[in-house]
Chains A and B, each alone.
Chain A
Amino acid sequence: MYSEKVMDHFSNPRNVGEIEDADGVGEVGNPVCGDMMTIYIKVEDGKLADVKFKTFGCGAAIATSSMITEMAMGMTIEEALEITRDSVADALDGLPPVKLHCSNLAADGLHAAIEDYLKKKEAGN
């Protein structure tokens, strides 16, 4: 039921883990099924120098987490904010209809981490 790309990211997830001194952390829960994801970002010169994730969820949730970290890595904050759940799903060659909501988790997690970073930066100034 999953595409080859999904299976690849699911079986060899990229960028799993935490960033100790992260500049932004996004913690999100999926209200539909109760799953959870945390995304950590490290920002250097306005770019995402490192992105890591931890996910408690289905195969699609793990694959979309992995995919989004790979997509966001090296992007500017602005570019990363433009990643949507659809672009993640597309990058994975699509998700089964019942699993589309899982890609929300990844997009929301990344955006939450960026917001956290922006908020911290503002507070620091």
Chain B
Amino acid sequence: MDHGATTRPDPEVVNAMLPFFNEFFGNASSLHNFGQEAAQALVSSRKTVADFLGAEPEEIIFTSGGTESDNLALKGIAYLKKNKGKHIITSVIEHPAILNTCKYLGDIGYRITYVPVDDQGLIDPADVEDAVTDDTILISIMHANNEIGTIQPIKEISAIAYECGVLVHTDAVQSVGKMPVNVDDLGVDMLSISAHKIYGPKGVGALYVRKGTRLQGLSQGGSHEMKKRAGTENIPGIVGMAKAVELAEQRLEGDTKYLENLRDTMIRKILDSIPESYLNGHPTKRLCNNVHVRFSYVEGESLLMMLNMKGVAVSTGSACSSKSLEPSHVLAALGIMPEEIHGNLRITLGRENTMDDVDYVVENLVDIVKKLRAMSPIAPKD
């Protein structure tokens, strides 16, 4: 139940990819027949992804994943517009792919504003508006958060950016496939996606770049991907991503409803059956598959290990579980007290999960929390 980290590639995705490893291994830039099979696949995959996002094929750049898409969006604009301005606005709860890119840009002379979030993880568009200055060149705010699942008001933020004449990028890696994502609806100029979060292969993603938006490529070489990303295309990966997108489109409505029901049932059962348990994030503006809870007096890594022994895979943002021994920056940004941040769990459901799985997790969680509290020096005695 850690689908926020990654998903198992759908068998249909794998089957779509296989011929492009062993049969159609051509280089899409070659003019002979081998190359043409690959070139054809590239054209149709690009169209599939574009259609899914409500974009045009020439607005899609295939990349090696969400991280590269985020880097390309931020650095591509920053480098190109450095003479126009050096100010970028983002938020405190972005994925490291954005945060660390901003940190790097900050180190080489750009100015970064990190807008805060409220205690449910929501950004106030007014804060974004207040942060805009004459030299602001880009606003990058994630569509949905990967830890707590909060969905941001991107439409409102885009409207502000449009008024101010500033470009908007959104990291939609987590929202794609779990809610409708349409570039015109959101009003964004750039949008990042990644295949492995939607039952596609790892190491492939895309960046949508609105027609007319110029950005500087990060790798120099041949003229692949509208000259914005040199390098022979990863055809099997791209074909796999297109298949994943196609399936996501077909399944979107059904999956979303199904997962929302599992999510809400799990949240209700956990909060009802475990005293001093709390929901992190927003009750309704949240990803359909995200359950993020915390329990007083217990520590997240122990929770995770005990659930793992019961065959349940989850994740935690507790300090003890991180290499840096610092709690998750997202939970810290919500203003949760340090001692309360410890006992958090992220459960991200997927289409293979059932209501029985939900009951199984809740039953085990009840026991595990009880066991750990009995061991905890700070838990009140009952």
The interface of chain A, by Cβ under 8 A from chain B, is 10-11, 13, 16, 27, 32-38, 54-59, 61-62, 98, 101-102
Contact = CB atoms under 8 A, between A and B. Distances in A.
Q: How large is the interface on B (under 10, 10 to 19, 20 to 34, 35 or more residues)?
A: 20 to 34
Given A33-B325, A34-B338, A62-B302, A55 B375 contact: yes
B108 interface: no
B378 A36 contact: yes
Interface string B276-313: 00000000000000000000011101100110010000
Q: Which of B297, B302, B306, B321 has the most CB of A within 10 A?
A: B302
A16 B373 CA distance: 11
Nearest to B300: A58
B302 A57 contact: yes
Given A33-B325, A34-B339, A58 B377 contact: no
Contacts, number: 58
B302 A59 contact: yes
Contacts of A34: 319, 338-339, 342
Contacts of A11: 306, 309
Contact of B298 (A38, A56, A98): A56
19 contacts: A11-B306, A11-B309, A13-B375, A27-B377, A32-B325, A33-B319, A33-B320, A34-B319, A36-B377, A36-B378, A37-B377, A56-B377, A56-B378, A57-B320, A58-B302, A59-B305, A62-B302, A62-B375, A98-B323
Interface in B357-379: 374-379
Contacts of B378: 36, 56
Contacts of A98: 323, 325
A16 B309 CA distance: 20
B325 A56 contact: no
Nearest to B297: A56
Contact of B320 (A27, A35, A54): A35
Nearest to A13: B375
Contacts of A32: 325
A106 B375 CA distance: 14
A13 to B, nearest CB: 7
A28 to B, nearest CB: 10
Contact of B299 (A13, A16, A38, A57): A57
Contacts of A58: 299, 301-302, 318, 320-321
A14 to B, nearest CB: 12
Contacts of A37: 377
Interface in B335-360: 338-339, 342
A35 B309 contact: no
A101 B301 CA distance: 15
Nearest to A32: B325
B299 A35 contact: yes
B224 to A, nearest CB: 40
Contacts of B309: 11
Nearest to A11: B309
Nearest to A59: B305
Contacts of B325: 32-33, 98, 101
A54 B299 contact: no
B379 to A, nearest CB: 8
Contact of B301 (A27, A54, A55, A59): A59
